[in-house]
Structure 1
Amino acid sequence: MVIPSTVLLILLLCSSHTLAADADVLLALKLRFHHPGPSLSSWDETDSASLCLTWAGIECSPAGRVVSLLLTDMNLHGTVSFLLLSRLDRLVNLSLAGNGFSGEFGSLTNLPRLRSLDLSNNQLTGDLAWIDPSSFPELEVFDAYDNNFTGSLPSGLLGLTKLRYLSLGGNYFWGKIPPSLGGLVKLEYLSLDGNDLSGRIPAELGNLTRLRVIYLGQYNAYEGNIPDEFGNLTGLVHLDLSSCGLEGNIPKTLGRLAKLHTLYLHINSLSGAVPGELGNLTNLVSLDLSINSLTGEIPPEFVNLTKLRLLNMFMNRLHGSIPDFVAGFPNLEALALWRNNFTGTMPRGLGSNGRLRELDLSTNKLTGTIPSELCLSDRLQILILLNNFLFGPIPESLGTCNSLVKVRLGQNYLNGSIPTSLIYLPHLNLLELQNNLLSGVLMESMNNESLKPVALQELNLENNKISGMLPDSISNFSCLQILIARGNQFSGPIPVSIGEVRQLARLDLSENAFNGEIPQEIGNCYNLNHMDISQNNLSGPIPGTISKLHFLNYLNLSGNHLTRIIPEAIGTVQSLTTADFSYNNLSGRIPDSGLFVILNTSSFMGNPELCGHLLNRSCHLGGPKTVSHRTNLKFRFIFMLAMSGCVLILVAAVIVKVTHLRRNDRLGRWKMTAFQKIDFSVNDVLECVKDGNEIGRGGAGVVFHGQTPCSTEIAIKKLLVLGWNRNYRSFRGEIETLGRIRHRNIVRLMAFCSNGEMNLLIFEYMKNGSLGEALSGKKGRFLGWNTRYRIAIEAARGLSYLHHDCSPMIVHRDVKSSNILLNSSNEAHIADFGLAKFMSDGGASESMSVIAGSYGYIAPEYAYTLKVDEKTDVYSFGVVLLELLTGRRPVGEFGMGVDIVQWTRIATNGLRENVGCILDPKLTNVPKDEAMRLYFIATMCVQENRIERPAMREVEQMLSEQHRNSPESHTSSSSSTTFR
């Protein structure tokens, strides 16, 4: 006879404290888990006597009682009865870490011997007010990291006087850090990062002199500065106060922390000079002071930091020279000082330690030459020196640096020729040399390397003095997506081998001296989106193979010597919105269909032999008749095909209907997988899936609104067959991953229903609809500036979670205003994961078979390479920010071929100070600094070059920082601080 779980629980609560009772408790726990699978297969109710010998995760005392329950990383789901756990009253170690446990954390009591409690990396909710020091007098380790706990920091923790390890990071605790926390003097590890804490960091934390590690940053928003008393924490090895709004100077007292290995103070509002006392931290390995407002020079005392591997001080206001002693750090691997005001030359001998991997000194005022030792031991991977005043040649040694992945040397005064093998390096994927004084020719690769595929994805040589021919070995650049050689002195024909560069998306060879004909093979570059070969000496006909470029958006052939007619087939390229054929020797009639209907006169001027209505030039008399006759024949042929097609469609529809009816007879029973506690059944869900309840329809499915018998409002998404159902096992895995997501700014997946052929996703219902409706529909008047800015921050937090805190990383692929839903308080929630991609291989870009997403939001490189990574979401989010600013839709309001990104650039002339020209007219009292900042962040997100876009974590931080630092009241009508 099977005993119901409720009866079993009552019996357990009344049972004696024996090993058999412990076994019953464990078996009762197992019953509450969803699909425990092989992880707990050894928990066999028929062999409870072997509990201490064979049951997974169990350790027993010599007296035969369970003392350790260690379920770490066993892929378990469901809820946990903490009332049951309390019956294991001999427990010393309890770990539920790294699973998918959800639900509200119950009351765990009466475990007088418990020393370690690890609840980390789950989706547990509720607060921790139940913690009673008398129930855990021996507790030394309490880890609740990365859950969904809320409320203020639990006061009960303050009585756990033996606590050595306390981690409450990655939750949603709010309020101030209690000064009494400084009474836990045995603490060695403290993590409060990634919450919503505020107020000042209490000076009393300086009493925790045994601390070795402290994390207080990430998402918290403190007031004031770093307490001087932190200088008393002389045992510290790791200090992380990043991303938490700190102000004021860096305390000189931090120089006392002689054991410090890591000091992270980045992404704050710290000001003043960098204290020389930090030079006393001779054990420091990682120092990050980036993204602050620090001034002055790098202190000479830093000469003592000889153990540094990482030194980041970028995005500050530092000046002076970069000290030569930096080059002498024997272990230095990463040096990032970009976007400051450094002058002088680069440190002599930089890279001679043979360990340098990343160097970014861009956007300063550096002069002199590039040191030749940068890649002495073939370890340098990233070299970014753009936007300085460097001169002289590119060191030949870089041409043999096989470790290089990214090189950006643009906007300098470099001269001489490009090292022979530089563009052929085996791992180099980005090479930017634009706006220099480089000359010479691009050499063919040496030593039979021309036979090897080249890894380069982006090559920018714009505005130099490079001459000669484009090498035939361009055919080996199988990964090349962007080739910009504009404004050089290239000559000779465009090599036929260009047609073998199948990944090419952007080709700009304009303003050179190329001659000969445009190769027919250009039509093999199927991914080409942007093609500009204007201002050359090209002749012959325009190849009709251009019509094969189905992703082509921009075509410029102007300023050449092209002849004959314009191929009518080019007008059939549906993606093409801009074309320029001006100033050639073209002749004949301008086609009057497709693209050619929307082009204006300027696209054809300078071709005296062209004719047609657009130019108001009549063509020969026979022409129109011939065209009309052909058109008539085409019409008849198309009509016959259409009629035949209709018959075939009717026959197919009958077959599909019969097949569907037979298939319905074979449907299995519906099964529901719940990802949280729910109060409805499958039948309740199916009752809601009907036409009258439909509230939305998209590429991934149809959405219905429903109400359960218990009055819970839900949204049901009926998934289409394509996409989500591509591989059922993989699909279920992805659904379960989404079901485990617990973030306040992501619409929660409550359950999943399937009958083998139809799949339904059940989400929490968002009462106020989508952001797109609110901005462009009747609800637009309800969204004032403060609400819009808050929505931007909340949406950024949701995407940042998907990109940086989920494993594997989740790329949404369809970020748009209609997929940002608003609850009754207008709080933003990211929704609709119908196109989401779970990234493997550390988040490397992956190729899609077709374009997915929404027009107006799709990143340029995605449109023409079909490669997706997290930066595609960043671009789409930038478009959403522009919608929040302007109140306009991404496309359809700015003229043919112009989207919101192009329009805002033109309207503001690219200057944030002109953001008032594009603001939504419904908005009033908009703070200038916030509007300019929001526009600046949006423009960073929509950079054409994906590499220049920030990560979502940086976007979220920039938005949050600005909002915290803005005036408290946004109701002022002063014209000096607000628009309108």
Structure 2
Amino acid sequence: MSNACSYRQIALSLCLVFCFYLPCCVKSDELQILLNLKSALNKSSTNVLDSWEAASSVCSFDGITCNAEGSVKEIELSSQKLMGVLPLDSICQLQSLDKLSLGYNLLYGAITEDLSNCVKLQYLDLGNNLFTGSFPDISALGELQYLYLNGSEFSGTFPWKSLENMTNLALLSLGDNPFNRTPFPDQILKLKKLNWLYLANCSIEGKIPPEIGDLTELRELELQYNYLSGEIPVEIGKLHKLWQLEIYNNELTGKLPVGLRNLTNLEYFDASANHLEGVISEVRYLTNLVTLQLFENQFTGEVPTELGEFKKLVNLSLYTNMLTGPLPQKLGSWADFDFIDVSENFLTGPIPPDMCKKGTMKGLLMLQNRFTGEIPVTYASCTTLKRFRVSNNSLSGIVPAGIWGLPNLNIIDIAYNQFEGPITSDIKNAKEIGIISAEYNRLSGELPEEISEAISLVKIELNNNQILGKIPHEIGELKRLSSLKLHNNGLSGSIPESLGSCASISNINMANNSLSGKIPSSLGYLPTLNSLNLSRNELSGKIPESFSSLKLTLFDLSYNRLTGPIPESLSIEAYNGSLARNPGLCSSTIRSFKQCPTDSGMSKDVRLLIVCFALGAMILLASLGCFLYLRRTEKYRDRSLKEVSWDFKSFHVLTFTEDEILDSIKRENLIGKGGSGNVYKVMLSNGAELAVKHIWNTDSHGRRKSRSTTPILGKRAGKEKEFDAEVQTLSSIRHVNVVKLYCSITSEDSSLLVYEYLPNGSLWDRLHTSRKMELDWDTRYEIAVGAAKGLEYLHHGCERPVIHRDVKSSNILLDEFFKPRIANFGLAKIVQANGGKDSTRVIAGTHGYIAPEYGYTYKVNEKSDVYSFGVVLMELVSGKRPIEPEFGDNKDIVSWVCSKLKNKQSVLSIVEPRIPDAFKEDAVKVLRIAMLCTTTLPALRPTMRTVVHMLEEAEPCKLVSIIINKDGDLKKKEAK
């Protein structure tokens, strides 16, 4: 008996000991799990995990919440810049975990772990990361209420059946992932407690099922950027609690359903960019609307007058439809109205006067309609206005003086109307204005000299008006001016010499005025001048000799009173018409002009002897100068590369030495020259090849300058620290589609940047030289995707976004397999943490690739790169350069492509003829993406992450390629 008691006591003691120590063991396990998580995410650039130490309680860890028993209940680490592969199987061993929030980080890798142990999870957020592969089955997570997986790069087929058991799900966010195309999932229609459904940009196709109306708890429904077709189901009117409905950028057809009027709680409604038709009268009942966007459809009829009584409406976008009738005159007069765009319709009547009544309006866009009447004077005091565009209407009257001087205005576009009156001196207050587009009106008076105080002006388009008087001398103070169009007016007096100070100007047109006096010689020194038209004036005197250095695509001095000899460089047959009707001009080479007189006082033989003697003396002096220069250069080169002290910084594991690089910087290895320096090909002793850019430090006049005061990259302005910081940031980039920078070797006078060597040159070479036939469509497509992924990494994958600012085909290099690399970061800008996304105001880029926002602001961001990349896509599809003579005056590839979007045959004509017919519709898919990238309004352009997704969806069918290779021809299904 005593033994039995003894055994029972021992058992009881063991049980007590076990029960006492069990919580400690559990916490010990949880500690180890969290420390493993910390180790996996050790690349974090923040200090959020610093408190995660073995000596601390897990409940004191930052981002950790425990329950009453001291077990981990929540992990909240969203937006912490965490980087690494997520050990989900380990995390799921936290038995009490009901919330895991890791959204907005830099987590990567595939999720292959079994999540069945996370059975208590109610909240799971893995959104906005960089995962790869498909998402696993999560059927076991039956208690889940919130699921965020949006924008995390998941692909393949989503496990829709996993959702069947999640009857408590209130929020489902799967959008912005490149999933395989699938019809609207039936499993979602059974989630009766859903109040937010985000399926935007995740390849949903087919019709919106009528059963969507059974999800009566829905408050937000977002299905934009998919492949949805058919009509909007009438049953959507059953969603009485709906607060936001986003179905834009699909292929929906038909009319707005009658039941839409029942959505009286709706505040945000966007059905734009579809194929919807009919009237929009249903929206008259949606009195709580804050924003209404129905642009780019085929709606007809009038804008409901009830919209003028909407008390919350702040944003109205109805452009590119077929709407008629007037706008409600009370429109925008109640709330803090922000923006209206009703352009490209057939609207009539006056402009509503009170849209800026609350003083908050930023955009008024009503161009290309049939509006009449005057500009309401109320807008002259709308100081928040940034864009005022009413061109191509039948408006009249005098432009209110204050309009010209609105302090935040970027663009004033009143062209093609019947406006009268002068441009007033108020223009001096318009410090932000970039474009004045007022051509084809009846403006009169003189140009005010105060126009020079509008220092941000890039374009002045005042042609075809009745402007008189002189061109103000002060116009030369507009240093950013790129286009000046004053033709077909009544201007008189001389052309200001100061115009030669506008170093950025590329287009000058003053034709058909009454200008007199001499042509300023300063115009001949304008470095970017591309078009000059001074015809049909009363200009006199000689053509300036400085014009000999101009390289113009348009040149016209005809119908003037010019005299004297035509400069030799202009004495070519191509310019005959450009100089016609100047009776006083003479030429010794152009037969259509009278011959210039010769000096008869000197015999021909004497003149010939003098010329020969002068030429001989010049040759002798030049030879001597070259000899002395070469000797001096050779000595300097020997000293600069062998004796100067160099600072060597490596960014990768190197298999070469500094001496190998320095010894290879010689003339026979030169493979290219650029504005910043020479490029050399270096063959290493181990057979590897490198490219080395040799950059001399120069001042603003091109003279060599000490690196201590002038950095190499960017615009050669600033301090050495900025150069080192930028190189260090770019050197940290690791991506297969970004050119690899191995090291930098710097001295006081110059720098060497050592890159990987790409043997197939640039995309420009392959598209626009004799080698362009080597690029078939598959290769072009792969180049497009690879380059897009490189830019996506720069914008989204770095610690701070990198804006390239000079994206173009010549900066996309190709390796031996034609895999692309983004190169040339001389203009790149790293977005500063305190500077936002508009952190640079420096003009950068190449003509033809520059985004149009440069016309009204110098603040650029990632969307400027997106525009430039869109131009590259157009090059890939069309084989055209960004600027071609066939496009017409002042037009680029973007405007040319837009002009071709008339019908299917016209669109197909854009595709380069060398691309086989079987691939042309694949090319059109890429062209469609290019059009989205080059949208005028930056906010409407996709991100590079979205561009990559869209390009991957446009992948050419591999089966089709096989059939083409075998049979040589194939008709494919028409692409939408």
TM-score with structure 1 length normalisation? 0.80
1:341-396 C-alpha deviation (Å, 9 max, x unpaired): 10111123112214211000000011111121222122211001011111111111
| Equivalent residue, structure 2, for 1:398 | 379
Counterpart amino acid of residue 129 in structure 1: T
In structure 2, C-alpha distance between the alignment counterparts of 1:433 and 1:173, rounded to whole Å: 48
Shift of 1:770: 5.4
Counterpart amino acid of residue 588 in structure 1: G
In structure 2, C-alpha distance between the alignment counterparts of 1:847 and 1:916, rounded to whole Å: 38
Shift of 1:838: 3.1
1:563-613 C-alpha deviation (Å, 9 max, x unpaired): 11011112224x5443211110101001113x6668521110011110112
Residue from 577, 598, 614 that aligns with 1:602: 577
Please tell me whether the aligned partners of residues 314 and 336 of structure 1 are also in contact (alpha carbons under 8 angstroms): yes
Match of 1:350, SS state, is coil
**Residue 821 of structure 2 is aligned to residue 846 of structure 1:** no
Give runs of aligned pairs for residues 787-806 of structure 1, distance below 5 A. Answer: 788=780, 792=784, 795=787, 799=791
In structure 1, C-alpha distance between the alignment counterparts of 2:262 and 2:855, rounded to whole Å: 52
Counterpart amino acid of residue 550 in structure 1: P
| Equivalent residue, structure 1, for 2:478 | 501
**Residue 241 of structure 2 is aligned to residue 259 of structure 1:** yes
| Equivalent residue, structure 1, for 2:212 | 230
Residue from 912, 921, 931 that aligns with 1:920: 912
Counterpart amino acid of residue 39 in structure 1: N
Please tell me whether the aligned partners of residues 577 and 896 of structure 1 are also in contact (alpha carbons under 8 angstroms): no
Shift of 1:751: 8.2
User: Kindly tell me: are residues 702 and 175 of structure 1, through their superposed partners in 2, closer, same or farther at Cα, counting changes over 3 Å?
Assistant: farther
In structure 2, C-alpha distance between the alignment counterparts of 1:257 and 1:860, rounded to whole Å: 41
Please tell me whether the aligned partners of residues 369 and 393 of structure 1 are also in contact (alpha carbons under 8 angstroms): yes
In structure 2, C-alpha distance between the alignment counterparts of 1:103 and 1:600, rounded to whole Å: 66
In structure 1, C-alpha distance between the alignment counterparts of 2:103 and 2:689, rounded to whole Å: 30
Match of 1:246, SS state, is strand
| Equivalent residue, structure 2, for 1:140 | 122
Shift of 1:249: 1.3
**Residue 567 of structure 2 is aligned to residue 591 of structure 1:** yes
Match of 2:47, SS state, is helix
Shift of 1:252: 2.1
1:666-685 C-alpha deviation (Å, 9 max, x unpaired): 756x5547xxxxxxx34479
In structure 2, C-alpha distance between the alignment counterparts of 1:691 and 1:106, rounded to whole Å: 51
In the comparison of the two structures, how many residue pairs are matched?
Answer: 911
**Residue 512 of structure 2 is aligned to residue 535 of structure 1:** yes
Please tell me whether the aligned partners of residues 243 and 957 of structure 1 are also in contact (alpha carbons under 8 angstroms): no
Q: Which region of structure 1 is more displaced relative to structure 2, 883-892 or 534-543?
A: 883-892
Counterpart amino acid of residue 391 in structure 1: T
Counterpart amino acid of residue 367 in structure 2: L
Give runs of aligned pairs for residues 831-870 of structure 1, distance below 5 A. Answer: 831-839=823-831, 841-844=835-838, 846-848=840-842, 852-853=845-846, 857=849
Residue from 282, 285, 289 that aligns with 1:308: 289
Larger Rg: 2
| Equivalent residue, structure 1, for 2:193 | 210
Match of 1:319, SS state, is strand
In structure 1, C-alpha distance between the alignment counterparts of 2:929 and 2:680, rounded to whole Å: 33
| Equivalent residue, structure 1, for 2:3 | none
Please tell me whether the aligned partners of residues 812 and 836 of structure 1 are also in contact (alpha carbons under 8 angstroms): yes
Shift of 1:420: 1.5
**Residue 872 of structure 2 is aligned to residue 880 of structure 1:** yes
In structure 1, C-alpha distance between the alignment counterparts of 2:960 and 2:914, rounded to whole Å: 19
Shift of 1:196: 1.6
Shift of 1:150: 2.6
Please tell me whether the aligned partners of residues 333 and 357 of structure 1 are also in contact (alpha carbons under 8 angstroms): yes
Match of 2:370, SS state, is coil
| Equivalent residue, structure 2, for 1:484 | 461
**Residue 44 of structure 2 is aligned to residue 39 of structure 1:** no
In structure 1, C-alpha distance between the alignment counterparts of 2:845 and 2:623, rounded to whole Å: 29
1:226-249 C-alpha deviation (Å, 9 max, x unpaired): 222222222222221110111111
User: Kindly tell me: are residues 297 and 832 of structure 1, through their superposed partners in 2, closer, same or farther at Cα, counting changes over 3 Å?
Assistant: same
Please tell me whether the aligned partners of residues 286 and 309 of structure 1 are also in contact (alpha carbons under 8 angstroms): yes
In structure 1, C-alpha distance between the alignment counterparts of 2:46 and 2:777, rounded to whole Å: 53
In structure 2, C-alpha distance between the alignment counterparts of 1:966 and 1:338, rounded to whole Å: 36
In structure 2, C-alpha distance between the alignment counterparts of 1:139 and 1:708, rounded to whole Å: 59
Residue from 446, 453, 471 that aligns with 1:469: 446
In structure 2, C-alpha distance between the alignment counterparts of 1:129 and 1:912, rounded to whole Å: 45
* Runs of 5+ unmatched residues, structure 1: 1-15, 68-89, 674-680
Residue from 747, 752, 762 that aligns with 2:737: 747
Shift of 1:622: 2.8
| Equivalent residue, structure 1, for 2:139 | 158
In structure 2, C-alpha distance between the alignment counterparts of 1:716 and 1:33, rounded to whole Å: 35
In structure 2, C-alpha distance between the alignment counterparts of 1:307 and 1:657, rounded to whole Å: 77
Shift of 1:814: 2.8
| Equivalent residue, structure 2, for 1:440 | 421
**Residue 176 of structure 2 is aligned to residue 194 of structure 1:** yes
User: Kindly tell me: are residues 378 and 235 of structure 1, through their superposed partners in 2, closer, same or farther at Cα, counting changes over 3 Å?
Assistant: same
Match of 2:331, SS state, is coil
| Equivalent residue, structure 2, for 1:173 | 155
| Equivalent residue, structure 2, for 1:8 | none
In structure 2, C-alpha distance between the alignment counterparts of 1:967 and 1:318, rounded to whole Å: 39
| Equivalent residue, structure 1, for 2:392 | 411
1:83-118 C-alpha deviation (Å, 9 max, x unpaired): xxxxxxx57426375325135867535222222223
Give runs of aligned pairs for residues 692-841 of structure 1, distance below 5 A. Answer: 722-723=712-713, 747=737, 771-772=763-764, 774-775=766-767, 780-781=772-773, 783-785=775-777, 788=780, 792=784, 795=787, 799=791, 809-820=801-812, 830-839=822-831, 841=835
Match of 1:270, SS state, is strand
Please tell me whether the aligned partners of residues 926 and 978 of structure 1 are also in contact (alpha carbons under 8 angstroms): no
In structure 1, C-alpha distance between the alignment counterparts of 2:612 and 2:169, rounded to whole Å: 85
The sequence identity of aligned pairs, in percent, is: 31
Shift of 1:620: 1.3
Give runs of aligned pairs for residues 284-683 of structure 1, distance below 5 A. Answer: 284-300=266-282, 302-445=283-426, 452=429, 454-573=431-550, 576-593=552-569, 599-612=574-587, 613-614=589-590, 615-622=592-599, 647=628, 650-651=631-632, 654=635, 657-658=638-639, 660-661=641-642, 664=645, 667=647, 672=651, 681-683=653-655
Shift of 1:462: 0.7
Residue from 128, 140, 156 that aligns with 2:111: 128
User: Kindly tell me: are residues 493 and 601 of structure 1, through their superposed partners in 2, closer, same or farther at Cα, counting changes over 3 Å?
Assistant: same
* Runs of 5+ unmatched residues, structure 2: 1-23, 697-711
In structure 1, C-alpha distance between the alignment counterparts of 2:877 and 2:102, rounded to whole Å: 42
1:488-545 C-alpha deviation (Å, 9 max, x unpaired): 1111111222222232211000011111111222222222211100011111111112
Shift of 1:129: 2.2
In structure 2, C-alpha distance between the alignment counterparts of 1:627 and 1:491, rounded to whole Å: 52
User: Kindly tell me: are residues 261 and 41 of structure 1, through their superposed partners in 2, closer, same or farther at Cα, counting changes over 3 Å?
Assistant: closer
Counterpart amino acid of residue 289 in structure 1: A
In structure 2, C-alpha distance between the alignment counterparts of 1:598 and 1:942, rounded to whole Å: 39
Match of 2:568, SS state, is coil
| Equivalent residue, structure 2, for 1:5 | none
Residue from 218, 224, 244 that aligns with 1:242: 224
1:912-965 C-alpha deviation (Å, 9 max, x unpaired): 85566665342221577666776687688779xx65996255994997699599
User: Kindly tell me: are residues 426 and 639 of structure 1, through their superposed partners in 2, closer, same or farther at Cα, counting changes over 3 Å?
Assistant: farther
Please tell me whether the aligned partners of residues 124 and 148 of structure 1 are also in contact (alpha carbons under 8 angstroms): yes
User: Kindly tell me: are residues 415 and 958 of structure 1, through their superposed partners in 2, closer, same or farther at Cα, counting changes over 3 Å?
Assistant: farther
In structure 2, C-alpha distance between the alignment counterparts of 1:627 and 1:505, rounded to whole Å: 46
Counterpart amino acid of residue 723 in structure 1: L
TM-score with structure 2 length normalisation? 0.80
In structure 2, C-alpha distance between the alignment counterparts of 1:848 and 1:636, rounded to whole Å: 47
